[in-house]
Amino acid sequence: MELIDVPEGLAGVAVTATRIGDVLGDEGVYHYRGRSAVELARTTPFEDVARLVLDGGTEPAIGHVELPADLAPIVALGDLRSAVSAYAALSGLRPIMDLSPAERRADAVRLISAFPALVASVARRELVGPRPGEGYVAGYLRMLGGSDPSPAAVRALETYCCLTIEHGFNAGAFTARVVASTGADLGACVTAAYAALTGPRHGAVQTRVLDMFDAIGEPDRAAAWMRSALADRQRIVGFGHAVYRTTDPRVPLLREVCAELAPHRHRLALAVEEAAAEVLAGRRLGANVDLYAPIVLEGCGIPRSSFTATFAAARVVGWCAHVLEQATERKIIRPGAHYIGDPYRG
């Protein structure tokens, strides 16, 4: 078969069609099924945004799910990848290609609903569970912290979760779809997507942003710190994006949230943005979501070790939406590569 060469990183290559949402990099906007993600984050509870993203239907995307007691030794390991995988196995999730659309959706709702308890249990290394009727975000913060969260923290984290629930064909979503295209079960798809998210070029950059803030210390040191980092050929975390060529639309709203929640960090982040405008001038590298997201997470009392998992507690809805969509396609995703090793010797 003749191979077609594509750009590095598949940048700009469309591999399928989707109705879930779109990221318009040149315009600096993104949406969920046609509705502004930022507007939804300002106005709409997470549960409703989840329903819209999952399949745009009227049935809830989130229900009440308790974790099985058999999961206790797994959450004690403190590793979310293992816990998601084990939860899927203990729940008896079957390959999506053997399920009806309604059964696939039921598995998605089950996994999404279990996710906050999984993340909180892994963080605490003991099983915790939701209370009936509790909001997704409020329940997550309560299970994680062990006490009722403040309304300000719930509002701030709900905004963050609505903004990050889905974001186009990023590495995590693509990974979920590759696994879904094999017909594997939903737990396999979501475990793989989460594994992709744990890479620092994707979802696991947030603690590094706080490390940068800590290293800079005071606003007037930002420009000098950045010049020195660039001289060391480092990438400045919290800047640049694979798709946005203008402002990341998640930044202004998160900046607003930070101003209220964590004024000290907010002042420093503004100084870092100002310094970047000077130091990175001409490179079209604006602030991305992860410059402000860790300030929100820290301000909500979430430990640094749970930042990426918290991101996943929102993004799991997008991953499941991609899996449900991919499950309706028949073709396995199986690209090729030019072989450049030793010649075939027979």
Out of 99, 285, 295, 324, name the contact with ligand ACO by CB under 6 A.
Answer: 285
Strand ranges of the sheet holding 29-32, from the earlier edge strand across to the other edge: 21-24, 29-32, 35-36
Point out which span in 59-67, 88-96, 104-112, 282-290 binds ligand ACO (CB under 6 A): 282-290
119 Cβ neighbours under 8 A, 6+ residues apart = 80, 140, 144, 306, 309, 310, 312, 313
C-alpha torsion sign, points 70, 175, 252, 282:
positive
By CB under 6 A, residue 253 contacts ligand ACO? no
By CB under 6 A, residue 318 contacts ligand ACO? no
- Which residue's CB is nearer to ligand ACO, number 282 or number 341? 282
CB atoms within 10 A of CB 214: 9
Least distance between ligand ACO and beta carbon 320 (Å): 18
Angle at 89 between CA 83 and CA 90, to 5 degrees: 85
CB atoms within 10 A of CB 48: 15
By CB under 6 A, residue 105 contacts ligand ACO? no
249 Cβ neighbours under 8 A, 6+ residues apart = 28, 29, 30, 37, 38
Residue with tokens 């049935």: 59
Q: Taking CB under 6 A as the rule, which mask of x and - marks residues 37-56 in contact with ligand ACO?
A: --------------------
The answer to whether residues 76 and 125 touch, using CB atoms and an 8 Å cutoff, is: yes
DSSP labels, 156-222: HHHHHHHHHS--SS-HHHHHHHHHHHTT--HHHHHHHHHHHHTSTTTTTTHHHHHHHHHHH-SGGGH
By CB under 6 A, residue 289 contacts ligand ACO? yes
By CB under 6 A, residue 310 contacts ligand ACO? no
- Which residue's CB is nearer to ligand ACO, number 214 or number 342? 214
Site for ligand ACO in 203-222 (CB under 6 A): 203, 205
- Which residue's CB is nearer to ligand ACO, number 88 or number 314? 314
Task: Return the active site residues.
Answer: 241, 290
> How long is the chain?
346
How many residues of this chain bind ligand ACO (CB under 6 A)? 17
Least distance between ligand ACO and beta carbon 248 (Å): 7
By CB under 6 A, residue 187 contacts ligand ACO? no
| Nearest residue relative to ligand ACO (C-beta) | 240
Least distance between ligand ACO and beta carbon 12 (Å): 11
Q: Taking CB under 6 A as the rule, which mask of x and - marks residues 221-240 in contact with ligand ACO?
A: --------------xxxxxx
Point out which span in 27-35, 200-208, 214-222, 315-323 binds ligand ACO (CB under 6 A): 200-208
Least distance between ligand ACO and beta carbon 198 (Å): 12
Residue 204 φ then ψ, to 5°: -100, 40
Positions touching ligand ACO (CB under 6 A) are 201-203, 205, 235-242, 283, 285, 288-290
